[in-house]
Amino acid sequence: MYAIIKTGGKQYRAEAGSRLRVEKLEANPGETVEFEALMLGGEKTVIGTPTVPGAKVVAEVVGHGKGKKVVVAKFKAKVQYRRKRGHRQPYTEIVVKEIRA
Q: What is the pLDDT of residues 53-95, one digit of tens each?
A: 999 999 999 999 999 999 999 999 999 999 999 999 999 999 9
CB atoms under 10 Å from CB of 8, counted, come to 12
pTM of the full structure: 0.85
pLDDT tens digits for range 17-67 = 999 999 999 999 999 999 999 999 998 999 998 999 999 999 999 999 999
How far is 3 from 62, CA to CA, in rounded Å?
20
Examine residue 90 and say whether the peptide bond preceding it is cis (omega within 30 degrees of 0).
no
| Confidence band for 97, pLDDT divided at 50, 70 and 90 | very high
Query: Which 8-state DSSP code applies to residue 27?
Result: -
Averaged confidence pLDDT in the chain: 95
Domain residue extents for the chain: 1-98
- pLDDT at residue 101 is higher than 90: no
How far is 46 from 57, CA to CA, in rounded Å?
14
User: What's at 25, amino acid-wise?
Assistant: L
